[in-house]
Amino acid sequence: SSYDRTLSLEAIDTLCNDTVNQLPTDFKVKNYLLNESQQEAIISSLSKRLTIIQGPPGTGKTSTCVEIVLEWLRLHPYELLMSKILVTAESNCAVDILYRELQIANVSAFRYSFKENMNMDYASIKSKINNARVICATCVGSANDYLKSFQFPFVIIDESTQATELSTLIPLLRNCTQLTLIGDHKQLPPTILSPIANKQGLGVSLFERLINLGIKPKLLNRQYRMHSSLYEFPSKVFYDGNILNG
């Protein structure tokens, strides 16, 4: 479509190659325990306007996400006094996992959701948001009125291959300057109940659309979840044999 052709030019020429934060030549990710593919993905997220991270099962997507947040906080201590990091996902379950891991890493984060905050008054919620450096919410939840007065220049969207393109755009509306999409288009796509909408392309996530247009994702290529004999088949069939065993 004409939309795809226009997006292709802009995505490849501007988004994929646009460096907005020039890192020192000797820069190293603080957590030396991360594997090489995780470190490369993190460095891209810290420097590029757009980074797409493909994480097959068991390759440490959540760990990589947490480390990106920690590095953003380390690199932008003053900028993030006036703005915040937004960490989102399509499902509440995924956001809860990210929020828990950020707490374990001692990150000042606030989990915004109607269910979690329904017994809190307006002043209490605003106070917690003000005091947090990272806000965790679903893609749709990030549009809530409680968050409308805040700027989110740094945005991570986990499970982005399970989100519709429209849902993925919501977290970008608050002055996003650096975006990291994390997911795996070889796994579950967005859930679309309407055959008509699916036929018109709503079942293609922004993550997958950008890859189809030529953007090469950062592949997390070392899995730690299962025996190597079990991973041999999906590695060959879905990932061209590029997945290593931890």
Q: Could you report the per-residue pLDDT of 196-243, keeping only the tens digit for each?
A: 988 888 899 999 988 888 888 999 999 988 888 888 888 999 999 898
Query: Cα(36)–Cα(210) distance, rounded to whole angstroms?
Result: 24
What value does the mean pLDDT take over residues 174-186?
94
Percent of the chain exceeding pLDDT 70 equals: 93
Mean pLDDT along residues 21-28: 86
Predicted local confidence at residue 12, as pLDDT: 58
Report the alpha-carbon distance of residue 165 to residue 137 in Å, rounded: 17
pLDDT at 24: 85
- Asked whether residue 8 carries a pLDDT value surpassing 80, the answer given is no
Q: Where does the pLDDT of residue 87 fall: very low under 50, low under 70, confident under 90, or very high at 90 and above?
A: very high
For position 99, what pLDDT does the model report? 97
Q: Which residue has the tokens 């907005």?
A: 20
Three-class SS state of 23: coil
Q: Which residue has the tokens 């945005």?
A: 155
DSSP state of 14: I
| Residue 11 confidence (pLDDT) | 53
State the pTM of this model.
0.91
Residue 4: its pLDDT value, please?
54
pLDDT of residue 162: 94
**Least confident among 19-33, 87-101, 129-143:** 19-33
Average pLDDT value for residue range 143-168: 94
User: Measured between alpha carbons, how far is 220 from 215 in angstroms, rounded to an integer?
Assistant: 16
- 9 pLDDT higher than 80: no
Q: Which of 62-76, 85-99, 217-231 has the lowest mean pLDDT?
A: 217-231
Question: From edge to edge, which strands make up the β-sheet containing 134-138?
Answer: 109-111, 134-138, 85-89, 154-158, 178-183, 50-54, 218-219
Average pLDDT over residues 127-151: 93
Q: Three-state DSSP class for 157?
A: strand
User: In the chain, which ranges are E strands?
Assistant: 50-54, 85-89, 109-111, 134-138, 154-158, 178-183, 218-219, 222-223, 244-245
Which pLDDT value is given to residue 40?
96
pLDDT band at 2 (very low <50, low <70, confident <90, very high): very low
